[in-house]
Structure 1
């Protein structure tokens, strides 16, 4: 049927594959918003919850460290826990993306935009 049209049959396949990939990417983005990772600092005295998309959703501070003279230490632990949570979120996002792109024949370190 498309014999006289050269590579248009392949182009249609590519377009269909691109649409499927777009749908799968949207589903992945949605699922990353539901995955929660927890970053910790100070041996668990400060914990930060974050979605795999990097959105901070909560912070837990052990009351034992809430001493006025230790204010700077607490602030540093909060920042460290947030950074840990965001790093874990980024790693989880990359893991999920690798699963999605596994069958596409792309190099393992190929980065697709989010």
Structure 2
């Protein structure tokens, strides 16, 4: 199609690839908002749910841990579950980005902005 245009044809191809990558990145960002991960602490007594973008969407606390004298323990369990969910969200986002970059032929380990 662009034969005979030399480097102009190469530039058009690069621009097309860049646009494809931008579209895929945009789609991935939208998908990460719909992927949920769950973190937990206290052997499942506290569970936190977050999107793969790291936004907390739910918190489930087993009622058996509600004792006034254990307030600090409950707070620690809640924080641990949230941190676990956020860590899993970051891992999931990195995994999805890795799949995308692999599809696009980008070298492994190359950091791209979110």
TM superposition score normalised by structure 1: 0.94
Structure 1 residues not aligned, in runs of 5+: none
Deviation at 1:104, TM superposition (A): 3.0
Name structure 2 gaps, 5 residues minimum: none
> What SS does the corresponding residue of 2:38 show, helix, strand or coil?
strand
The match for 1:72 is 72
* Cα distance in structure 2, aligned partners of 1:72 and 1:10: 62
The alignment covers a number of residue pairs equal to 113
Please identify runs of 4+ aligned residues in structure 1 that moved more than 4 A: none
Bigger mean CA offset, 100-109 vs 46-55: 100-109
SS at match of 1:91: helix
Q: Is the 8 A contact 2:21 2:104 kept in 1?
A: no
Task: Give the deviation of 1:57 after TM superposition.
Answer: 0.3
Distance, in Å, in 1 between the alignment partners of 2:61 and 2:55 is: 18
8 Å CA contact 2:45, 2:62 repeated in 1: yes
The Cα RMSD (Å) is 1.2
The residue that corresponds to 2:95 in the other structure is 95
